[in-house]
Structure 1
Amino acid sequence: MFFSKKINILPRWLIACLDSIILFISIFFAYFLATNFDWLQMANLQVFQGSMTFVFVGLLVMFLTKSYTGIVRHTGIMDGMLILRTVGFTVLVVGLLNFLLVFINGSGRVVPFAVLIIGGMLSLFFLITYRLLVKDFFRKNKLKGMDLPKKKILIYGAGEAGSITYRAVVKDSHYRYLVYGFLDDDPRKKGKYFEGLPVFGNVDELADLSAKYELEELIIAIIELTPKRRREIIDACIALDIHAMTIPPVNQWVGGNLSPGALRDVKIEDLLGRESICLKNKKVSGMISGKRVLVTGAAGSIGSELSRQIARCAPEMLILLDIAESPLHDQEVFIRNEFRDLPLHAVLEDVTNLEGVKRVFENFQPEYVFHAAALKHVPMMEKYPAKAVQCNLLGTKNVADCALAFGVKKMVMVSTDKAVNPTNVMGASKRLAEMYVQSLDKFQKEQHQESTGFITTRFGNVLGSNGSVIPLFKRQLKSGGPLTVTDPDVTRYFMTIPEACDLVLEAGVMGNGGEIYVFDMGEPIRIIDLARKMIYLSGKKPGKDIEIEITGLRPGEKLYEEVLDSGELSVETHHPKIKIALVRPGNYQEIKRKMLLFETLFDPEDEMQLVGHMKKMVPEYISKMSRFELLDGQKIEK
């Protein structure tokens, strides 16, 4: 123990000496094997002279290949390959000496070829073996000297990623991982051994193994695993109270190696229950490259990611517009640091200010506009309906009118599934915005004007966006709970921020104008199930460590969302996960005339009249859990 603490790294001279001794022993023993331990025959072979020649040549080759400079306790595959080259060159050089002595000088061989081959193989075996023994010695003594907490685990994936994961966890300096074996979906691997440990089978074996070994953790170490299978594995872990971990993507491994600290908890995004929707249309880059692009709401969750993806496409100019000063500044600093050669302009402006929006279009002449600016929080918009109309409807009108006036090629508007059969002010304001841009697109084409394509994208809740349920649950978990759910039956569609931005950019390429693009987002997810899984994934138990509190539906909140109205049809596109909603556009002149009335109803005392006007324009807007139910002839339950 004292020796292992005193000498953490073997000095080079000691490694060189050990290697020399091993070379001598290997070649000497090779003589015995080649002569079948015949002492008389060995006496005629000049054993000592041949052995010393082999060792001397080996030392010279070692000096050239630097095979003695490695840290023995960290010996890996590359070190083994270096030793192989060293021994190979040594055998080659001694063989060349034999050739020169026999065919040029006419004398006998310095080392017989049979002895040379056997000696080379023995040298390779012993040089690698003693390094592995030293490595194992230091590893075991390190563990003995550290009082580390133990973790009983299995690794899911008996492949290359599983092998790398295993080697990473056994070297961990924070925990002593007791790896009992591997699980794998390949039935051919069941019953075999991998990294010296058994492969038990697939996830069906987990319950028995958990009872047998009292498992605490399962590390999912498969790079290409379908979301459905990942969810099945994690659900099995949750049912058995086993903490699930996963490895990061390969591009996040440092130098191709995985460190124990890189292992991460399973993210709730991993449990969407459907295949990730990946578009990555090469035409997106072609459309944006060399063009002037404006992003409104550029400091928000969608707008910020959208801006970064656009910046990667090398536009001629990127204009970021937002009213939120600090987030806009942060976004500007980030993009300037990441894309130093990109002409970038951050504009602090409100889309509700028509003159300010006009100045932006006049100054920068954008060719493409991505309109993500919006007020989105349902309960807040129920309190302040005038603000929702000003931003979501009239702000969209300002941007759309300027886009048409200044000859923008395409404008893509970000909408929401809450615009379908809206039950709240926010959803209704977004539906009105959809109606306006659709009717404007139809009107300008009927007038044979130089066309601006007005395109809408409609999707569900975005995981991790500002104010969404996931960050809320994370904060509540951090503070010890409870996690608040409005109703046990509430369901929502979910998508990730990259998926949402992909849809917006794809719409810009696919759309000609007038379309409303919707995603196939799979099955809706119950929020209470999401809460339970987040508690489990944090290593705690719902109802025991963290409570779930039912708070009741908030004003304007639906139990479930829809991406299409029951009366809306849809058509397929080139991508199986994207559809176009067949929504009949309204009459532009009529919609524009009715919208003028909103500008006279922004006083607080006019709220009922304002929302009533919204309901006239959007007949399917029926309020839920809101003071505006009175306008539908309903009574608010108290």
Structure 2
Amino acid sequence: MSYKNRLVFMGLLDACIICLAVVLAYQVRFDFDIGAHNTSALLYAAITHVALGLAGLYITRMYRPVLMFASVAELIAIIKLATLLELGCFLLQSGLQYVVPAFAVPRSIYPISWAFIIIGLGGARMTFKIITATSAKSRPNLRRTMIVGAGSAGVLVAKELTHSPDSEQYPVAFIDDDKAKRNLQILGLPVLGGRERIPEVIRQYEIQDIIIAIPSATKKEVAEIVEICNRMKVSIKILPKVSELLSGKISIKMIRDVKIEDLLGRDPVAVDLTEVSNYIGGETILVTGAGGSIGSELSRQIARYQPWKLLLLGHSENSIFEIELDLRKQHPHLQIESVIADVRDRRRMKAVFAAYLPGVVFHAAAHKHVPLMERNPVEAIKTNIIGTKNVAELSHHFGVSRFVLVSTDKAVNPVSVMGVSKRVAEMFVLGLGQRSQTKFVAVRFGNVLGSSGSVIPIFKRQIQQGGPVTVTHPEMVRYFMTIPEAVQLIIQAGALASGSEIFILDMGKPIKIDKLARDLIRLSGFEPEVDIKVIYTGIRPGEKLYEELLTNEEGIAATRHGRIFVGKQLQIAWHEFSRDVDQLEQLIENEEEERFDQEMKQLLRKIVPNYRYVQEPFSAEQQKKVMRVQNSSHHAKVEIVTNV
């Protein structure tokens, strides 16, 4: 119904209600025997009330609120309007009764009609709301929904689900850990107990959907609730965080599916804004690999700290174009320069440094896909080692104040070309930092959820296709964190740098890939092995069952940030090391030799003695044996990191 049609309909309805209220007031006043001599006064009173009442309703915009959302606020407005209406009619009558005695209205009519008008106008609006709610409840296509959290957010969700025409769900009950709310009703819905009763309530009330409406809940609390809900075959959704609800309004679109990121069980990263601003604000910042998963998020977060200029460097024009568009929209006053270049091209990189003179460099450009790099080892070495060498040496030559290398846990006791290439890159950066005024540091962490190389997008595609979901091994575990979380810690680590350090990020507890896949299947509304099969494909070349965060030689120490640790500085025989790296670079240039692959890996083994490579992938038993040997000397140190 259009606003104009609604205005006519509601106006006629209110006119009838006000007129009827005046008539009933007269009937009550004269004991249901008005008499012919009061007819003129009744007619005058009814016309006056209707005219002033409709004018008042229109002026006070009482026809604008949506009736299905009518609440106490509308009732209070009606009471105020009725009071002013009766006062206005009384004052008008007080002057007119001396001119036209036949229009004299008894004073007792005003309080009686006041009460009837409030009952009539308020009752009509509440009736419409009840009818709407009842009709929505009776719709057979709505899914029975339980809301976890009976606070203000949960109440808003219940209202929205009840009244929104776009809603596919209907609330039937609340769950809340607050014992004071148990056995009570909110908006007519029972509060049936704490989270321990979720399975019982699901069965008893035939719940199909669950909405977690606790915006202030920590990730650990959300993970615990989801773990309970996962035992039952229900769809689980969640309300956004408090920061997303500052407007105080909730819409159906804000209620989203629970994501794997919600289940990591770690609280948000606390960033020291002053420290970060001190080294980024007002500087020219260069981000290599700026179009990638980490590089693009680095660029977004760096832009918030008001650098003088932000250089987005990458060799993929499409990804650089997209991040530039995004940043220009979000930060229209920021100076942004997009540079299409390959870090392996030293001449081009030198021209970039000479033209822009960056003050801080975040080096995120890298090849990271383990099996692909096993089949293309030359590309891993060119980008991850030679590319890093080029950018690092140019940073030293042009007097960059800080250089932050984005590294990986696969560099620890590497069994893949990708891993060993990142380890050599770490060693080069740390070794160069020991003889440079530039503060060179490396930041090491595990897998990031949602990145282009993450298993999550692969699992999602497989689930959408009906399965099966492929997992390499049931015992394979990895460290995970979200991209924004990792990037915040990378930027913070840059502020902690004093030079030649390797920072290790707190990755939480390692997660089984098998469990991750099964959780994702459940979050998609399916049951593992029933709706979607999980099959094991075997460990691929270059993969390990377990990833580590520390080498045997590295101890760790706490920093002033609770989520970042620093490894012990290693003394690198620089001349011998740099000679080996130069030899590796020369070998790459002559890759047509028949024995190239074996010589290259032998040279990498010389540079990184604990690099182990085989022609075939490890069996599970080989993996476990290797990991037991490698972990035996520093298992306790790893526990310090993972349990903080």
Which TM-score applies when normalising by structure 1? 0.86
- Choose the corresponding residue for 1:590, options 548, 569, 576: 576
Partner of 1:59: 54
Q: Using the alignment, how far apart are the partners of 1:339 and 1:7 within structure 2? A: 40
1:18 has 2:10 as partner: no
1:446-525 correspondence runs (5 A): 451-525=437-511
Partner of 1:538: 524
Letter in 1 for 2:338: A
- Choose the corresponding residue for 1:221, options 204, 213, 224: 213
1:621 has 2:604 as partner: no
What count of residue pairs does the alignment treat as equivalent?
Answer: 612
CA shift at 1:269, angstroms? 0.8
- Choose the corresponding residue for 1:127, options 113, 121, 125: 121
Distance 1:81 1:322, change over 3 A: farther
Q: Percent identity?
A: 38
Q: Using the alignment, how far apart are the partners of 2:568 and 2:464 within structure 1? A: 44
Q: Using the alignment, how far apart are the partners of 2:520 and 2:618 within structure 1? A: 35
Contact 2:493 2:564 in 1 (8 A): no
Contact 2:287 2:313 in 1 (8 A): yes
- Choose the corresponding residue for 1:609, options 599, 610, 619: 599
* Range that drifts further, 589-598 or 540-549: 589-598
Q: Which runs of 5+ in 1 are unaligned?
A: 1-5, 102-108, 445-450
1:369 has 2:361 as partner: yes
Partner of 1:305: 297
Distance 1:287 1:128, change over 3 A: farther
Partner of 1:414: 406
CA shift at 1:173, angstroms? 4.5
Q: Using the alignment, how far apart are the partners of 1:615 and 1:388 within structure 2? A: 15
Distance 1:323 1:601, change over 3 A: same
1:90-489 correspondence runs (5 A): 90=85, 93=88, 120=114, 123-138=117-132, 140=134, 149-171=141-163, 173=165, 177-249=169-241, 257-279=249-271, 281-444=273-436, 451-489=437-475
CA shift at 1:266, angstroms? 1.0
Partner of 1:548: 534
CA shift at 1:157, angstroms? 1.2
Q: Using the alignment, how far apart are the partners of 2:570 and 2:29 within structure 1? A: 91
* Range that drifts further, 333-342 or 592-601: 333-342
CA shift at 1:219, angstroms? 1.2
Tell me the SS of whatever aligns to 1:407. coil
Q: Output one character per residue of 1:131-176: Cα deviation in whole Å (capped at 9) or x when no partner.
A: 12123335555777x7x52422211111221122122223455666
Tell me the SS of whatever aligns to 1:239. coil
Letter in 2 for 1:421: N
* Range that drifts further, 164-173 or 613-622: 164-173
Letter in 1 for 2:363: H
Contact 1:244 1:265 in 2 (8 A): yes
CA shift at 1:39, angstroms? 9.7
Distance 1:63 1:213, change over 3 A: closer
Q: Using the alignment, how far apart are the partners of 2:59 and 2:547 within structure 1? A: 70
Q: Using the alignment, how far apart are the partners of 2:298 and 2:22 within structure 1? A: 67
Distance 1:175 1:378, change over 3 A: same
Contact 1:24 1:54 in 2 (8 A): yes
* Range that drifts further, 242-251 or 204-213: 242-251
Tell me the SS of whatever aligns to 2:240. coil
Q: Using the alignment, how far apart are the partners of 1:121 and 1:454 within structure 2? A: 79
Q: Output one character per residue of 1:559-579: Cα deviation in whole Å (capped at 9) or x when no partner.
A: 111222344222222222222
Cα-Cα RMSD: 3.7
Contact 1:9 1:72 in 2 (8 A): no
Letter in 2 for 1:264: R
Letter in 2 for 1:338: Q
Tell me the SS of whatever aligns to 1:340. coil
Distance 1:596 1:157, change over 3 A: same
Partner of 2:639: none
Q: Using the alignment, how far apart are the partners of 1:618 and 1:118 within structure 2? A: 94
Distance 1:90 1:353, change over 3 A: same
Tell me the SS of whatever aligns to 1:370. strand
CA shift at 1:248, angstroms? 3.3
